[in-house]
Amino acid sequence: MSSCQARRSERGFTLIEVLLATALVAVIAAMVFGSLHLSTMAIDRARSVTARQQVLRSTLRIMGDEMATGISIPAGPWMGINADREGNPADTIAFVALGQVRAAESEQETELVRIVYTREGDRLFRVVRRNMFGTTDESVSHMELVTNVKGFNLRYYDSQANVWSDEWDGRARNSTPSAVLIELTLIQDDAETRTYRQWVPVGARS
């Protein structure tokens, strides 16, 4: 080894070499942490989508089960009201279903419950009156089901006339539709909208 090389080895690294090494380590660290951050964001986004899908499936299942057993009686006719807000469907449906609910001691007991599904702003709500013959609102529950709702549209099938209609007035018919088509439009993370549809046969389940 020459004397020049020996003296350089004794001096160690120069400032430029240290700076270059530090910059290289910083670049590698930024790449690694950037990749981890993107992976974490992708995992969180996938979990969020999965959670929303589960909520949506649960909501459609509940709505389908209750509508399938819905009935129309003079005290609680089946009502399907067609409406829109800001150019998007905002329908309301009300019907009676079997609830197996015990009323308050001071009120008449009933197994019938009045169920209402309606859109308020960007949210879908389920309102249940657990005692149709009560005089107070103590038995009324108000539950938020889904958020980011762009549209809530319902259609009703009249098997006698063999037509689908946007409304249903059980007061005039004292009857239920043969089927209901549920259309729920939601705003996705990318600001795009997606419509989910479910066809429910009424009276098909016990």
Which of the four pLDDT bands, split at 50, 70 and 90, describes residue 137? low
- Name the β-bridge partners of 158: 163
Structural tokens at position 165: 């209609």
Q: pLDDT tens digit string along 177-192?
A: 999 999 999 998 777 8
- Read off the pLDDT of each residue in 148-171 and give the average, rounded to a whole number: 94
What local confidence, expressed as pLDDT, does residue 104 receive? Answer: 42
Residue with tokens 């149709």: 132
The contacts of residue 196 (CB under 8 Å, 6+ apart) are: 56, 60, 183, 184, 185, 186
How far apart (Å, rounded) are the C-alpha atoms in residues 100 and 110? 8
Phi first, then psi: what are they for 135, rounded to 5°?
-110, 0
pLDDT for 153 beyond 90: yes
Domain total of the chain: 1
CB count, 10 Å around CB of 139?
A: 19
Position 33 scores a pLDDT of 76
Question: Position of tokens 């309301």?
Answer: 92
**Three-state DSSP class for residue 53:** helix
Q: Range of 62's domain?
A: 1-206
Please report the pLDDT score of residue 135 as a whole number. Answer: 57
Please tell me the predicted confidence (pLDDT) of residue 206: 43
